[in-house]
A and B are shown apart, each in its own frame.
Chain A
Amino acid sequence: MCTAQRIVRRTGAVGVVLGVLSALVGCGTDSDSDTLIVFAASSLVDAFAEIGAAFEEQNAGADVMITTGGSSALRAQIIDGAPAAVFASANASTMDAVVEAGDTAAQPEVFARNRLEVVAPAGNAGGVSGLSDLARSDLFVGLCAAGVPCGDLSRDVLGEAGVTPSVDTDEPDARALLSKIVDGELDVGLVYATDAASAVDDVVAFATGVDMTTPYLIAPLDGAADPELAAAFVDFVTGPVGRAVLSDKGFAAP
């Protein structure tokens, strides 16, 4: 599971390179096919794959290339000039940074929300029933590290509920945390509801009881090769088809 997570990240990096290459090749040789490079936060990987396919069906000639990665890493690549047409981020601050850097003139739009769930491995050997179990020192407890979106949200939720967690590891990203829970190495952790939904057979999930969500923002980028197509994709994500897919994957409405 951990390896799978890493491979996703790696293909993310490779994907950027491939995306750049195919964009260049596309410009030079094949003007009929219109390639749209979308940078999306890793928690969106399944949802955007489906949305992208549906978009291609409705727009003949459009070729959607989705590159997923940590929001912060994608932000850095965009600011460094990666030729992305659309950016979908997992929190407000990374999108703000892209706006500040002048990479988009558009007003970013919240298109989905995510909340956290208390997740234990299937079988629930630790007898977890809710957020307060994160304070138990007899359990192995994992959170996302402070500084990454899910880590910051976790600390806000715990603070709101007045729970002081007995943390055993601050995982560098949400997927790494989930895989350690799936493997049973950790007894309990806080992960996105969408991640919990993706591993529904391997984990049991409980509501936190705290009404806090993180917004997902999307915006077309100024560097887009075909600005109209980029705008159309953003509309498609925020439109009924996008909503339906996102809801199906466990995202809350904006």
Chain B
Amino acid sequence: MTTRRGTEERIPLLLGVLASLAIALVAIPLVGLLVRVPWSNLGSLLTSDVVLDALRLSLISSIAAAALSTVLGVPLAWLLARRRFRGRRVVRAAVTLPMVLPPVVGGAALLFALGRRGVVGEPLDAITGIVLPFSLAGVIVANTFVAMPFLVLTVEGALTNSDRGVEAAAASLGASPLRVFWKVTLPAIAPSLRAGMVLAWARALGEFGATVTFAGNLQGRTQTLPLAVFVSLENDRNAALAMSLVMVAVSFAVLLGLRDRWWNNR
């Protein structure tokens, strides 16, 4: 018992130092933010129309993007993990591209494809009258573009590691492939699916570059919190700090509540 306590208490010096540096790297900028926040008139800053509009749009667009990422990304992850087809490697690389691409490049690419003069956007406008740029739908598309890879990677990893034998058993009992997927595969990877959804949501919440490039910036219609912060930094630093605080608080609360529960219950 005493030896066990002893080994548990000892953290190797090197690991301890490096881990402390890692904590410092994340914590110090946050502290810097907190120090500068104008606490005295925080209430009036946070209840301004700009902030409330941005908060509302951020929540709507990030949740919608996480949902859209799930609806489209889970089948894609399944396809990548479970089916061999020509060009699978290329598709896999392409899907994760938005993770490494500067978001503004992604936004520009979206504009060239889905913009009013885009390859797809122009006929879409002509036929259906749907215009994505400068609309909330455009914000959601841009958010999904950058957020979906996080969901696809997480779910694909889970599918690759999950027990195929159980699926074979379900098939032997007469279940169609869709039924196997829905009733057996999906429940088995539920923890990873939830983790992927949280990651996608978090990424969408912080999205700036692709959104401003593709969907523009208009208070109440397309201006999410990151856009509002960016614009305010130019002229109203206090408002920018107050909104930054809101983002940190909302994200931190969600991650604190979900991360341990959803990552560790496998």
Which residues of A182-213 are within 8 A (CB) of B?
Answer: 183-185
Decide yes or no whether B235 CB sits under 8 A from chain A.
yes
Evaluate contact between A72 and B234: CB separation under 8 angstroms.
yes
Interface positions of A (Cβ within 8 A of B): 1-3, 6, 70, 72, 140, 142, 145-148, 167-172, 176, 180, 183-185
Interface centre among A140, A147, A170, A176 (most CB of B within 10 A): A170
Evaluate contact between A170 and B217: CB separation under 8 angstroms.
yes
CB distance from B262 to the nearest CB of A (A): 35
Complex Cα–Cα for A31 and B216 (A): 48
Interface positions of B (Cβ within 8 A of A): 102, 104-105, 107-108, 111-112, 115-117, 133-134, 209, 212-213, 216-219, 221-223, 227, 230-232, 234-236
Task: Determine the chain A residues whose CB is within 8 A of the CB of B230 once the complex forms.
Answer: 172
Task: Determine the chain A residues whose CB is within 8 A of the CB of B117 once the complex forms.
Answer: 183-185
Evaluate contact between B134 and A169: CB separation under 8 angstroms.
yes
Complex Cα–Cα for A57 and B138 (A): 50
Evaluate contact between B102 and A147: CB separation under 8 angstroms.
no
Complex Cα–Cα for A1 and B231 (A): 21
Evaluate contact between B116 and A140: CB separation under 8 angstroms.
yes
| Contacts known (A147-B231, A147-B232); A171 close to B116, Cβ less than 8 A | no
Task: Determine the chain A residues whose CB is within 8 A of the CB of B219 once the complex forms.
Answer: 170
Complex Cα–Cα for A169 and B136 (A): 12
Q: Which chain A residue lies CB-closest to B107?
A: A2
Evaluate contact between A184 and B116: CB separation under 8 angstroms.
yes
CB distance from B48 to the nearest CB of A (A): 14
| Contacts known (A169-B222, A185-B117); A2 close to B234, Cβ less than 8 A | no
Complex Cα–Cα for A171 and B234 (A): 12
Evaluate contact between B218 and A185: CB separation under 8 angstroms.
no
Task: Determine the chain B residues whose CB is within 8 A of the CB of A70 once the complex forms.
Answer: 234
Complex Cα–Cα for A178 and B250 (A): 35
Task: Determine the chain A residues whose CB is within 8 A of the CB of B133 once the complex forms.
Answer: 140, 185
Task: Determine the chain B residues whose CB is within 8 A of the CB of A147 once the complex forms.
Answer: 231-232, 234-236
CB distance from B101 to the nearest CB of A (A): 11
CB distance from A143 to the nearest CB of B (A): 10
Interface centre among B111, B117, B133, B216 (most CB of A within 10 A): B216
CB distance from B45 to the nearest CB of A (A): 15
Evaluate contact between A172 and B231: CB separation under 8 angstroms.
yes
CB distance from B135 to the nearest CB of A (A): 9
Q: Which chain B residue lies CB-closest to A1?
A: B108
